[in-house]
Amino acid sequence: MKNTIPKLAGLAFALALAGCAGIPADRHPLAMRNVAEELPSSIKLAREGWPEARWWTAYGDHQLNDLVDRALAKGPTLEVAAAQIASARSAVNRANAELGLETGLNAGLTRQRYSANGLLPTPIGGSWITEESVNVEARYHFDWWGRNKAQIEAAVGEVNARRASYAAAEQDLAAAIATHYFTLQGLWARRANGGQMVLKQGATIEDRRKRLAHGLATADDLRIAEAGLLMLKKQLDQFDTEAAQEKEALRALLGADSQALADLNPLPLMSAPHRLPARLGVELLARRPDLQAARWRVQSAMSRIDAAQAAFYPDLNLSASFGLDTVSIPKLLRAGSATALIGPSLSLPLFDSKRLSAQLDSTRSERNELVAEYNLAVVNAVRDVAQDGAALQGIERQLAQQAAVNATAAAVARSTEKKLQQGLADNNALLTSQLALLQLQDLALHLQQLQLQAEVALTHSLGGGYFAESPALTSR
């Protein structure tokens, strides 16, 4: 007997080694892409740096602040992201439940008639027997190869990915609110300027009529002026239509009723300080929540690969059962009714390698797919920053040129007004110069609207003030 236990232990160890199925080699892993360090030298703004958190408050617009805060508090688009986080947390709880000690209490009562012609003689044979039992069962799962730990890490990685996706949804929502709001304000500003153009065009028509009555203009001159008025009114209708569409877009983002935006009023278009970092590097990964989500999903896939590889090794667990069993209820609580069972269970994947290999290949393919998606997201993120920076830089140059043109037109209008006072110009010349100035102001307002939209786009492509506080992910 002295040599029995060592022999059994050696046999168990040999079976465990023999029970390890061969793990296929990982032949085609994809590498995660690095972020480009620098933007093209031609793309540069006046200030360098990254957006601040709550970047929209820099515009000093209380209406915009209120809209974004309301959307972030209870916007319908965030409900989906919040539900996804809750679902991922449930998966973590399920993975945790597989580890450690499992216990259960079972109680049963059976009544059975045994055959008089069967294996059991009388008095059991031919009789009805009632059996009562109460058992406490326990099972302890040893995570020898880290399979359950890897499954928990995969589930936690998915939770982190969905948290980052929630932050990305918040940034998407704030950017969408700001874009629609600035578009609406731009349309209102252009409509107000268009109203001034309608008044000036109306005055031009009256002037043409007077000139026609004195033979100083033709009927065609009057018709051209009237057609111009119709075109201006058509443009005002277009502004009104587009403004109504923008309000509906804002209302949908807020998930509010039809009266939620009744107090929204036109305000002057005001730009805010905006920045563009000269170097992106790995900091872009920390500042873009969508990239963080993609990296966490890759990490989660790697943990699932670890779990799939651990399934190739033997699994040894311990089970036990303690309880009471009797055919006479009065004797149930007596010591003689006690039952006990304890023993290990060994699972050897000897004949399951084909299924395990297919499962491992599937998880590796999923990892490659997620790595490819991450690499594409990195490329797109750098492209977005470069394109939005270039667009904003170009609009700023156009605004500077437009300001110079407007200043010249304003000087011409003032000069014409002085000439009219001195009798050196007529009213038609003054109205023409004033209309030209208003048309140029419409172009300037449109550029201001585009500038605000470009600022929001650049802020969004730089992560909108998000910064990941989670530890750096490892690449395996």
- CA–CA separation, 317 and 139 (whole Å): 7
Given a cut of 60, whether residue 178 has pLDDT beyond it is: yes
Planar angle of CA 72, 78, 79, nearest 5 degrees? 125
Given a cut of 80, whether residue 108 has pLDDT beyond it is: no
Instruction: Supply the range of the domain harboring residue 341.
Output: 102-142+315-348
Given a cut of 70, whether residue 163 has pLDDT beyond it is: yes
Residue 309: name the closest of 10, 6, 2, 25 by CA. 25
DSSP H or E run through 59: none
The angle that helices 353-421 and 289-310 make with each other, rounded to 10 degrees, is 180
Is residue 268 domain-shared with residue 173, that is, in the same domain?
yes
| pLDDT of res. 145 | 75
Cβ neighbourhood burial of 151 (10 Å; 0-12, 13-18, 19+): buried
Total structural domains in the chain? 2
Asked which of 51-55, 133-137, 375-379, 472-476 is least confident by mean pLDDT, the reply is 472-476
| pLDDT of res. 471 | 46
Specify the higher pLDDT residue, 326 or 10: 326
- Domain assignment of residue 227, yes or no: no
- Domain assignment of residue 21, yes or no: no
Given a cut of 60, whether residue 476 has pLDDT beyond it is: no
Specify the higher pLDDT residue, 41 or 110: 110
* C-alpha 239: how far from chain center: 32
Average pLDDT of the segment spanning 202-212:
90
| pLDDT of res. 1 | 46
Given a cut of 90, whether residue 78 has pLDDT beyond it is: no
Is residue 154 domain-shared with residue 87, that is, in the same domain?
yes
User: Tell me, what CATH number does 270's domain have?
Assistant: 1.20.1600.10
- CA–CA separation, 465 and 274 (whole Å): 12
Is residue 369 domain-shared with residue 285, that is, in the same domain?
yes
Is residue 126 domain-shared with residue 239, that is, in the same domain?
no
| pLDDT of res. 86 | 81
- Domain assignment of residue 252, yes or no: yes
DSSP state of 291: H
Kindly tell me the sign of the dihedral angle through the C-alpha atoms of 357, 359, 365, 370: negative
The angle that helices 219-254 and 62-74 make with each other, rounded to 10 degrees, is 40
Asked which of 237-241, 340-344, 408-412 is least confident by mean pLDDT, the reply is 340-344
- Which amino acid is located at 71 in the chain? A
Q: How confident is the model at residue 399 (pLDDT cuts 50, 70, 90)?
A: very high
| pLDDT of res. 5 | 46
Is residue 87 domain-shared with residue 149, that is, in the same domain?
yes
- Domain assignment of residue 194, yes or no: no
Q: How confident is the model at residue 235 (pLDDT cuts 50, 70, 90)?
A: very high
Tens of pLDDT, residues 258-314: 788 888 999 999 988 888 888 888 888 889 999 999 999 999 888 888 888 877 777
Q: Are 406 and 441 in contact (CB under 8 A)?
A: yes
Tens of pLDDT, residues 37-75: 567 777 877 788 899 999 999 999 999 999 999 999 887
Given a cut of 60, whether residue 9 has pLDDT beyond it is: no
* This prediction's pTM: 0.81
Tokens of 257: 């009723």
Given a cut of 80, whether residue 329 has pLDDT beyond it is: no
- Domain assignment of residue 210, yes or no: no
Residue 75, number of CB atoms within 10 A of its CB: 22
Is residue 125 domain-shared with residue 242, that is, in the same domain?
no
Given a cut of 60, whether residue 4 has pLDDT beyond it is: no
Given a cut of 50, whether residue 380 has pLDDT beyond it is: yes
Average pLDDT of the segment spanning 248-259:
86
Is residue 400 domain-shared with residue 446, that is, in the same domain?
yes
Percent composition of the chain: helix, strand, coil (DSSP 3-state, to 5): 60, 10, 25
Specify the higher pLDDT residue, 389 or 344: 389
| pLDDT of res. 188 | 97
Q: Which single residue is written with the structure tokens 């805060």?
A: 69
123 preceded by a cis bond (ω within 30 of 0): yes
| pLDDT of res. 475 | 39
Residue 341, number of CB atoms within 10 A of its CB: 11
Is residue 125 domain-shared with residue 260, that is, in the same domain?
no
Q: How confident is the model at residue 122 (pLDDT cuts 50, 70, 90)?
A: confident
Q: Are 67 and 250 in contact (CB under 8 A)?
A: yes
- Domain assignment of residue 327, yes or no: yes
Q: How confident is the model at residue 126 (pLDDT cuts 50, 70, 90)?
A: confident
Cα torsion 389, 391, 392, 394 to 10°: value is 120
- CA–CA separation, 61 and 87 (whole Å): 37
| pLDDT of res. 346 | 65
> What's the longest Cα–Cα distance across the chain?
138
Q: Which residues of 297-329 are buried (b: 16+ CB within 10 A; e: fewer)?
A: bbbbbbbbbbbbbbbbbbbbeeeebebbebeee
Is residue 329 domain-shared with residue 250, that is, in the same domain?
no
- Which amino acid is located at 353 in the chain? S
- Domain assignment of residue 200, yes or no: no
- Domain assignment of residue 93, yes or no: yes
Average pLDDT of the segment spanning 202-207:
92
Is residue 276 domain-shared with residue 424, that is, in the same domain?
yes
| pLDDT of res. 395 | 94
* Mean pLDDT of the chain, nearest integer: 83
Tens of pLDDT, residues 461-475: 999 999 987 544 443
Is residue 386 domain-shared with residue 410, that is, in the same domain?
yes
Domain boundary (295, 324, 348) is at 348
Give the total residue count for the chain: 476
Is residue 275 domain-shared with residue 371, that is, in the same domain?
yes
Q: Are 347 and 315 in contact (CB under 8 A)?
A: yes
Domain boundary (332, 348, 364) is at 348
Given a cut of 50, whether residue 8 has pLDDT beyond it is: no
Q: Are 286 and 292 in contact (CB under 8 A)?
A: yes
Asked which of 176-190, 222-236, 303-317 is least confident by mean pLDDT, the reply is 303-317
